[in-house]
């Protein structure tokens, strides 16, 4: 098992802890922003949060690249989804880098639009990826986590109507852990890079070519 997916899993746990802290804070202080989000008063806290985000997104992008062949399994749809997600995480890493350099940076305008689009894509595409991988036994648990937002989103609306603990971070936690565990599982099965049905014809043609060249 490779270290990169494990590092991504640890980073996902760290960001999940921050999200849980934000959920608890909002429950007891619904009208007050958490200090880690107040870049003007506590810029160093905003920078720490930014560093955690950059670490997670960079590690997820790198792990998805490293384990790409095992995850794709020779399926073009999975490959396209994986690379779109890699692009989203790379975009997030760049956006949070700006916040680290200047915590009081104005995130309105183009910055906000790009962030919102990337955020929506990074939450929706994993659902499709989860369904695409659900039949592969070694990826069953991560796939279920990737599909989980379908159930979590209605739950968030219910929590928002009756409690103070509604938070979009529930979706992030499921997706981040799902992708990190997907990479962990892929690193444990390095031999399963392509289905046998897609390997056999090319191998047969290669064998025939070698045989004909030796005659």
Q: Read off the pLDDT of residues 149-192 as tens digits, 9 standing for 90 and up.
A: 999 999 999 999 998 899 999 999 999 999 999 999 999 875 44
pLDDT of residue 1: 58
Tell me the CA distances in angstroms from 109 to 39, 90, 95, 112, one per residue in order: 18, 20, 13, 5
- Which of 40-44, 142-146, 151-155 has the lowest average pLDDT? 40-44
The whole-chain average pLDDT of the chain stands at 85
* pLDDT of 101 over the 90 cut: no
Into how many domains does the chain fold? 1
* pLDDT of 201 over the 70 cut: no
pLDDT of residue 103: 77
pLDDT of residue 208: 46
Q: Where in the sequence is the domain holding 145, given as residue range(s)?
A: 3-213
Compute CA 154 distance to the chain's CA centroid, rounded to the nearest angstrom: 21
pLDDT of residue 104: 74
- Which of 4-13, 34-43, 153-162, 170-179 has the lowest average pLDDT? 34-43
Q: Tell me the whole-structure pTM to 2 decimals.
A: 0.83
Checking 121-125 for CB contacts under 8 A at 24+ apart, the result is: 121/84, 121/85, 121/88, 122/85, 122/88, 122/89, 122/92, 122/175, 123/149, 123/171, 123/172, 123/175, 125/81, 125/84, 125/85, 125/88
């Amino acid at each position: 098992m490779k270290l990169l997916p494990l590092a991504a899993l640890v980073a996902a746990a760290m960001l999940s802890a921050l999200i849980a802290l934000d959920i608890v804070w909002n429950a007891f202080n619904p009208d007050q922003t958490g200090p880690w989000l107040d870049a003007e008063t506590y810029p160093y806290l905003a920078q720490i949060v930014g560093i955690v985000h950059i670490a997670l997104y960079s590690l997820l992008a790198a792990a998805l690249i490293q384990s790409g062949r095992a995850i794709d399994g020779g399926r073009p749809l999975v490959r396209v989804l994986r690379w779109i997600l890699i692009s989203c995480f790379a975009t997030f890493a760049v956006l949070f880098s700006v916040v680290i350099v200047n915590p009081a940076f104005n995130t309105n305008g183009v910055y906000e639009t790009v962030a919102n689009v990337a955020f929506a894509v990074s939450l929706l595409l994993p659902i499709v990826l989860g369904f695409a991988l659900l039949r592969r036994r070694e990826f069953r648990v991560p796939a279920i986590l990737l599909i989980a937002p379908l159930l979590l989103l209605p739950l968030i609306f219910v929590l928002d109507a009756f409690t103070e603990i509604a938070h979009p971070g529930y979706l992030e936690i499921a997706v981040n852990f799902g992708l990190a565990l997907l990479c962990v599982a892929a690193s444990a099965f390095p031999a399963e890079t392509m289905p046998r049905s897609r390997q056999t014809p090319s191998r047969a043609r290669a064998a025939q070519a070698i045989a004909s060249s030796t005659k």
